[in-house]
Amino acid sequence: MRASKAPSGWATLRRFLPYLWPAGEPKLRMRIVVALVLVLAGKAITLIMPFAYKGIIDAMGPGMEAGVTLASALVLAYAGARFGGVLSDNLRSVAFERVGRNAQRLMAEQVLRHLHNLSLRFHLNRKTGAVTRVVERGTTTIETMLHFLLFNIAPTAIELLAVCVIFQLKFGSGLVAATLVMVGVYIWFTQKVTEWRNHLRREMVDLDTGAVAHAVDSLLNFETVKYFSAEEREAARYGQAQRRYMDAATKSNNSLAMLNIGQALITNAMMGGAMAFTVWGWSKGRFTPGDVVLVNALLMQLFRPLDLLGMVYRTIRQGLIDMEAMFGLIDTPSEIVDKPNAPLLRVTAGEVRFEDVVFGYEPERTILKGISFTVAPGSTLAIVGHSGAGKSTIARLLYRFYDIQGGRILIDGQNIAQVQQASLRHVIGIVPQDMVLFNDTIGYNIGYGRDGATQAEIEAAAKGAAIDRFIEAQPLGYETRVGERGLKLSGGEKQRVAIARTLVKDPPILILDEATSALDSRTEAAIQSVLGDIAARRTTLIVAHRLSTIVHADRIIVLEDGRIIEQGNHADLLALGGTYAQMWARQAAERMNPEADARALEDAAE
């Protein structure tokens, strides 16, 4: 899912930085300010603690018995400072929590909205599991990166500056220089090793994404796996993917141990050198025993965020890798876009017209070769033809899932390429042959046809689609869940839900794409009557291979090799004695010979 040219880490970081100061959100900005003030307060308290510790040690030296009261007071101050540091850190987290979660929410919404705006071509080529994994990793990284950038990197820089000032005032420039050199070497080492580890991380992430994508794809095709007894084959493929991921993850985690060892060597060398210097100064009478403790405490406090800084840097670099993939999704261009200031589609009569339409999914393969026809308002047009003739393509083009290469498609004289897509799809309803339902209730799936549909409208639509008795027979009624992609329902039940959903939408233009192909004869007759009533009030396009379901159509067009070779009503086409008449005769013979039905579906269906 990565873009063809992966952006640099800095480019990705620049795209991310606006989330540190969200535009148009004064309350969230105020929370950030409060959190930063608490950070500064916490750092101030942290820097005070070593001085209290030093005072305690000096007050307890030989001949300092009179300093018991002072030492006790300093102990209380030290304990209070430690508590104050914990308090400020947690209050800071409380103040910032909503900011981080809001950034995560905004990014997740932006990605999902963009994915829905991408073309059908993208979604036909995608791997659902891989896309889901990319979005999950990218969005969960945001809150962590915001937290680290604001509350780890910046405070650590402030603390380093403060420690250097203290060392300069109390111990001289030598210790300051040593501290800066140590920090510089630490950061350089961390960066170099982390960059090396990023290659291993990228490999591990790609293998993890591929393994999850395969697992999701395998589960989505559960029935197909069962049909071909391929359980062991799928398990073996998934196991192979997991073994490759295991090897990459092992290398990545082992490299982390090397990084930790190097960081510990650098920090402990500095710790030992600084304490040796203060012990030497104490032996010369320049420093007190408390100064030795002060240096130790300051360096320990500095090392703690520095040790964390190594983890923070690794996390940010790894997060940038994850976010690159997510931004790659966001940067995927939308193939079908509205023109600037595109008007709404206004349907007054419902006339549909194709004018010399040329279209191919790929440039080298043209599907429709100059198709022209008109569906008069309120009339019914049926489209028939052999597989690959372009029947279902016409329905997709009317929805503007693709842009055509030549000609025009008009609704009431308005070019659908010039109007807003949402308004176009609002006026068209479809009952598809391959019906996929949401993993929710039957009532939700029926009501999905129109936002805000009432329960009474849902029940009326279910009755119109002849599925009301089935629903009422379920223990939970309309709250019955249909399972993943509606797999708990039969093909006929799913198709009736699709019909009910279209009834709820109540569109002026209707597309029936083999709307009764999964129904038995009795139910098909009932549904045909319902569909006939619906079509009587709408402009209707029917894609069919069962010619018996379209004999009532006002006009029938026969497609072959992307062209209209015959058109007319049922009687006219039979009298013509051409392709349609041959198809009718063959299907009539097949109805007399049910064993040939499978061959008929293969020959005639698209």
Q: Which of 209, 183, 205, 206 is nearest to 313 (CA)?
A: 183
pLDDT in tens, 265-322: 888 888 888 888 888 888 888 888 878 778 877 887 777 777 766 677 767 777 777 7
Mean pLDDT score, 532-541: 78
Q: Which amino acid is at 94?
A: V
**Three-state SS string across 537-590, please?**
CCEEEEECCCHHHCCCCCEEEEEECCEEEEEECHHHHHHHCCHHHHHHHHHHHH
Q: Which of 65, 335, 292, 78 is nearest to 175 (CA)?
A: 292
What pLDDT is recorded for position 70? 62
Cβ(163)–Cβ(302) below 8 Å: yes
Mean pLDDT score, 115-134: 68
Q: Which of 184, 177, 178 is nearest to 306 (CA)?
A: 184
Give yes or no for residue 543 having a pLDDT over 50.
Answer: yes
Q: Which of 307, 311, 346 is nearest to 159 (CA)?
A: 307
Where do the domains of the chain lie?
9-331, 337-426+546-598
Task: Please report, for residues 55, 71, 72, the alpha-carbon distance to residue 66 in angstroms, rounded to integers and kept in the order given.
Answer: 14, 9, 11
Mean pLDDT score, 42-57: 74
What pLDDT is recorded for position 49? 73
Phi and psi, residue 102, nearest 5°: -65, -40
The more confidently predicted of residues 494 and 131 is 494
What pLDDT is recorded for position 420? 92
CB under 8 Å to 206, separation ≥6 — which residues? none
What pLDDT is recorded for position 344? 93
What pLDDT is recorded for position 8? 53
CA-based R_g, the chain, Å: 35
The more confidently predicted of residues 317 and 463 is 463
CATH 1.20.1560.10 fits 9-331, yes or no: yes
Using pLDDT thresholds of 50, 70 and 90, give the confidence band for residue 593.
Answer: low
What pLDDT is recorded for position 411? 94
47 C-beta neighbours (distance < 10 Å), count: 19
Tell me how far apart the alpha carbons of residues 460 and 431 are, in angstroms, rounded to a whole number.
17
Task: Please report, for residues 248, 499, 505, the alpha-carbon distance to residue 426 in angstroms, rounded to integers and kept in the order given.
Answer: 49, 16, 8
Tell me how far apart the alpha carbons of residues 324 and 9 are, in angstroms, rounded to a whole number.
8
Cβ(342)–Cβ(419) below 8 Å: yes
Q: Which two tokens stand for residue 8?
A: 């640099």
DSSP 103-134: HHHHHHHHHHHHHHHS-HHHHHH--HHHHHHH
Tell me how far apart the alpha carbons of residues 11 and 138 are, in angstroms, rounded to a whole number.
15
pLDDT in tens, 63-88: 555 456 666 676 776 677 678 777 87
Task: Please report, for residues 30, 333, 347, 392, 445, the alpha-carbon distance to residue 424 in angstroms, rounded to integers and kept in the order given.
Answer: 43, 21, 9, 18, 22
Starting at the edge strand found earlier in the chain, the sheet holding 563-568 runs 428-431, 509-513, 539-543, 380-385, 555-560, 563-568
Strands 563-568 and 555-560: antiparallel
Q: Is 157 helix (H, G, I), strand (E, B) or coil?
A: helix
Any bridge partners for residue 441, and if so which? 481
Q: Identify the burial level of 363 via C-beta atoms within 10 angstroms of its C-beta, where 0-12 means exposed, 13-18 middle and 19 or more buried.
A: exposed
Tell me how far apart the alpha carbons of residues 438 and 551 are, in angstroms, rounded to a whole number.
34
Tell me how far apart the alpha carbons of residues 492 and 433 are, in angstroms, rounded to a whole number.
10
Q: Which of 482, 503, 484 is nearest to 493 (CA)?
A: 482
CA atoms within a 13 Å half-sphere pointing along the CA-CB vector of 84: 18
pLDDT in tens, 569-590: 999 999 998 999 998 898 888 7
Taking all residues of the chain, what is their mean pLDDT, rounded to a whole number?
A: 80
Give yes or no for residue 175 having a pLDDT over 50.
Answer: yes
What pLDDT is recorded for position 596? 47
CATH superfamily of 337-426+546-598: P-loop containing nucleotide triphosphate hydrolases (3.40.50.300)
What pLDDT is recorded for position 101? 78
Tell me how far apart the alpha carbons of residues 116 and 539 are, in angstroms, rounded to a whole number.
27
- Which helix or strand (DSSP H or E) is residue 257 part of? helix 231-283
The more confidently predicted of residues 188 and 197 is 188
Mean pLDDT score, 50-61: 69
Cβ(569)–Cβ(556) below 8 Å: yes
Lowest model confidence (mean pLDDT) among 18-27, 264-273, 492-501, 589-598: 589-598
Q: Which amino acid is at 339?
A: K
Using pLDDT thresholds of 50, 70 and 90, give the confidence band for residue 455.
Answer: very high
